[in-house]
Amino acid sequence: MITVEEKNELEQVLCSKLKNIKIKTSENGDSTYKVPFVGGDFLVEVSNQELAKAVNIAIKMLEELDSLANSEYNREAMEELCNKANKEASAIKTVLIYESIQNDNLKKLTIEAAEVMRVGGAYWMFVVRPSLSTSLFFALNEMIHCFDDEDMHNRIAYFLVGSILSMQRVPIDQEDDADGKLNK
Rg (CA), the chain: 17
Q: What percent of the chain has pLDDT over 70?
A: 93
Burial code (b: 16+ CB inside 10 Å, e: under 16) for 50-60 equals bbebbbbbbbb
Asked if 57 contacts 157 with a C-beta cutoff of 8 angstroms, the reply is: no
Positive or negative, the CA dihedral 48, 171, 166, 116 is positive
Q: For the residues 134-161, what does the mean pLDDT come to?
A: 90
Quote the pLDDT of residue 178.
44
**177 pLDDT above the threshold of 50:** yes
